[in-house]
Chain A
Amino acid sequence: MMPKKIKTKPYTATRNACKMCTPLGAALVFHGIEGTIPLLHGSQGCSTYMRRYLISHFREPVDIASSNFSEDTAIFGGGDNLRLAIENVARQYTPEMIGIATTCLSETIGDDVPMILDGMDKKVDPTILVHVSTPSYTGTHVDGFHGAVHAVVERCNPVTEKTTDALKTRKKINVFPGMLSNEDIRHLKEIFTDFSDVRTPIDTQSPDAIKNGIDSYAMGNNTEFTILPDYSERLEGPSWEDYQAIQKGGTPVREIKAMNRATASMEFGSILASTVDQGEKSAGSLLKERFDIPLASLGIPVGVKATDLFFERLEELTATPIPEKYKKQRGRLIDAYVDGNKYVSRQRAVVYGEEDFVVAIAGFLAEVGIIPVLCASGGKSGFLQKALEEILPKNILEQVTVHPGMDFTRMEQTAGALEPDFVIGNSKGYTLSRHLNIPLVRVGFPIHDRIGGPRILHIGYKGAQELFDTIVNTLLQRRQDTSKTGYAYM
């Protein structure tokens, strides 16, 4: 079905946005830190809407406090409200950390949050206060996400605590994976743990372990790792036996504080890396600057090629060869690519979502022979085109329309002419896929119309395997459904 009118001129209004607002990303990060409550400095509505949005994806409690502006606050400034909110959150949740993110409102009236927070630290001690500036009119949820990771690392690793080299004898890797699914984070942990070939789990309560900030993921070859953020347990925990004001799980604050003692950092996202090259700060670049910790930046490891790169870096950083288990996964994956090659070859896909995610998925699609005919995102970092050029072979790139700053309505109008076979992205593309009458393969965030969104695995060989199977089976189902014959063998 072709859309009624194809508009090519720029459109003023955003119609069915393919992005969320900045504080949402920050709130998600804070949910990935142990004992942390996010607090949005602004009106009640923003917090409530974001909670609802996150709850619909995770199907878990997602508490986000608000400083709850009133008219007076908007006129005279939000200082008193914010201070009261902090005290109330501290009282109700006794959190380890409160993650304060601004909203458009507090940013626009020009609240000086660091000044407001001055002295509050002592008042709510030992709760740590972290502030991230997240006006929504300057970016998307992705900026809020990276901004919050950066703010937390910065707050927990002040320059004065610069460590001596002596403490760096242990291998320790900081991992900043970006906005991945719960299952992705769990898989990452599994990979790192396997790499360590742990034979005797380290007693984290021993005086030595506490002194050196060693956590339970300590590796046999003395390599430890810290993933930030890690919401994989907190936002997908078991049914409660007992009441939990703040659900268990998340990156422990003491581990974040020890990040300056790491031997390397790893950061996913090629777009993120480009913005860092341009002078923007990320958690990894901050640690590099402040503490000389080498930073390995790489794309999100989706697909064989990207995952190969990831494992290569891991082998280097840990001086450990890739475990047999992953070699086998890789072998099975490539064999599956072969078995399914004809089902997917030259199929055409529309890909959308966060820019880094789009790049990763497009790279994966290209390596199995699917043409990502439209790569779209609501984000506009300015690097999407470049990142795709780097990852896609030339013959495929020629067939790709790249569109940053795009909403779903324009995507629909553009996609029709490109004759796609399927759509791949978050559940917000359902309307588009329905109108184009082609299937939607659900990946990424959010998944609001299915159960198990947080359990979708994208990364590693295993993730590629699951993505590949899902895509092939979606296409086969389609062929079966639309055929008169109803073949029982495909």
Chain B
Amino acid sequence: METISVLEDRKNQIYRKGQDSFDISCEKKSLAGAVSQRACVFCGSRVVLYPIADALHLIHGPIGCASYTWDIRGALSSGPELHRMSFSTDLSETDIVFGGEKKLEKALFELIEEYEPKAAFVYCTCIVGIIGDDVEAVCKKVAAKVGIPVLPVHSEGFKGTKKDGYKAACDALFKLIELNRKPEKQIPLSINILGEFNIGGETWIIKEYYRRMGIEVVAVMTGDGRVAEVQSAHRACLNVVQCSGSLTYLAKDMEKAYGIPYIRVSYFGIEDTSDALYDVAAFFEDTPKIMERTKTLVQEEVKTILPELSALKKDLTGKRAAIYVGGAFKAFSLIKALKHLGMAVVLVGSQTGNKDDYALLREMCDPGTVILDDANPLELAKYVMEKDAHLFIGGVKERPIAYKLGIGFCDHNHERKIPLVGFEGMENFAREVHETVTSPVWDLVPRKAFNRAISKKG
């Protein structure tokens, strides 16, 4: 029997509610050799910008970074699909020695000529940061010749974490808006949706709610995104930011530059979705009709899904869930949504949560819940077994951990194909959880012996 011990340097990133009294340590660089589930700065930038479907996304570096991210997300577009291509400068040894600027320039000209994008983003990967290409200068030169915005995204993998990638992407988005800003009038009763990426068509669901409420959506950043849309974002009255980590930087920049206020919301689960819509309605309090419509909308939607939710809840009540997600905001919503289904959360963690996030998690969780920052496969397995969870909610990298341990799994990451936002998203989520938790295959896996394997010393 193997025991799993936790590395000494990681111990203050693991917290047990009701047992530990220290503040969980977070926002640290991952420990060398610890097999973090995190990706890199580039990953953060890419996640944010990629759904812009009529832009060219060129990854400047050796091939891997582009190969592994080719069409990996389920971010849908209602029109062009340029974002689903994987473009790379595919640097070779001579480029590393003599610099990649010429190749980058040539690649940009060719690609822009052939694909006629409305803008181009050039993602700098690790190597570019080392060989010192002046990407800024190349972009400027190309932009001047071709007449579209060509923007560098400073996403060298080693220069921080995924969050720094969000920031680099926000910088690029802000520049894009600035580049084209004319003194145009504000659009009444309008919002921008930030931090929503149209995974499985989620943007469309949310947009439809706002349409029914009588609110105009100026730009979505970046789900089903278009360059022109992004460039008119400064005309909205309010920024509604989902996914606290990724687009808040942009919301703050826009507040400073254009005086557009922002609110934070989440569209996962009945409670959070309703709150989101009510908060937006409340912002437009001078138009009371909006609040009325919102109330009707919420009532109608909730009524539609409640019967099925109650039916599913019967089988799920008392089951235990483990959550490991990228941004902590998602965990908050998931805890609430799972409670709605009668389930208890016994483990919750995130790759990039901050102090406030973890404080809130601590408040929300039941005693005994394990809270993890920047966990690795060994730790996740250890606590999933210790807590004897029935369900794991995470991404592709967590899936095999759950399955090997013989428990259900629900993908809540960018690669899923099913929309999980809004009211119908809650219904989809409940169905998916139900399907996996109640699958008869768990009866066949040799799972019962697990508890014995738990290390007492960790």
Contacts and interface: CB of A to CB of B under 8 A. Distances in A.
- Specify whether A and B are partners: yes
Interface of A: 5, 7, 11-17, 19-24, 39, 42-53, 55-56, 59-71, 73-74, 81-82, 84-89, 91-93, 103-105, 108-109, 135-138, 140, 237-245, 409, 428, 431
Given A19-B67, A52-B397, A105-B130, A136 B62 contact: yes
Contact of B67 (A17, A92, A138, A245): A17
B7 A88 contact: yes
Nearest to B400: A61
B32 A85 contact: yes
Given A13-B110, A17-B70, A243-B450, A63 B35 contact: yes
A108 B95 CA distance: 11
Interface residues of B, number: 82
B405 interface: yes
A243 B127 contact: no
A469 B422 CA distance: 46
Contacts of B4: 243, 245
A330 B158 CA distance: 54
Contact of A15 (B1, B30, B31, B86): B86
Interface in B118-136: 126-127, 129-131
Contact of A49 (B65, B129, B377): B65
B38 A44 contact: yes
Contacts of B92: 137-138
A60 B400 contact: yes
Given A45-B41, A55-B397, A87-B33, A431 B404 contact: no
B223 interface: no
A74 B131 CA distance: 11
A410 B173 CA distance: 31
Contacts of A60: 400, 404
A48 B47 CA distance: 15
Contact of B33 (A13, A62, A89, A105): A89
B130 A48 contact: no
Most chain A beta carbons < 10 A, residue from B32, B58, B64, B95: B32
Nearest to B385: A243
Contacts of A46: 40, 64-65, 126, 157
B198 to A, nearest CB: 19
Nearest to B34: A88
19 contacts: A12-B107, A12-B110, A15-B87, A17-B67, A17-B86, A22-B64, A48-B36, A49-B69, A52-B68, A65-B35, A66-B32, A71-B158, A73-B158, A81-B32, A136-B64, A137-B91, A138-B92, A242-B2, A244-B404
Contacts of A67: 32-33
Interface of B: 1-2, 4-5, 7, 9, 29-43, 58, 61-72, 85-93, 95-96, 103, 106-107, 110-111, 114, 126-127, 129-131, 157-160, 376-378, 381-382, 385, 396-397, 399-401, 403-406, 445-447, 449-450, 452-453
B67 A243 contact: no
Give 5 closest A-B pairs by Cβ, nearest first. A45-B40, A21-B64, A88-B33, A85-B33, A49-B68
Nearest to A86: B33
B181 to A, nearest CB: 30
B400 A108 contact: no
A88 B158 contact: no
Contacts, number: 243
B71 to A, nearest CB: 7
A44 B43 CA distance: 11
A85 B381 CA distance: 21
Given A5-B114, A17-B88, A239-B403, A108 B397 contact: no
Contacts of B34: 65, 68, 88, 92
B238 to A, nearest CB: 34
Contact of B64 (A12, A20, A64, A93): A20
Nearest to A80: B32
Contacts of A42: 126, 158
Given A105-B127, A245-B4, A48 B38 contact: yes
Contacts of B377: 61, 63
Contacts of A43: 40, 126, 157-158
Nearest to A73: B158
A104 B62 contact: yes
A31 to B, nearest CB: 13
Contacts of B72: 52
A228 B5 CA distance: 31
A241 B110 CA distance: 55
Contacts of A16: 70, 85-86
A379 to B, nearest CB: 11
Contacts of B159: 71
B446 A241 contact: yes
Nearest to B29: A70
Given A68-B36, A105-B126, A240-B405, A15 B397 contact: no
A11 B396 contact: no
B400 A242 contact: no
A2 B39 CA distance: 38
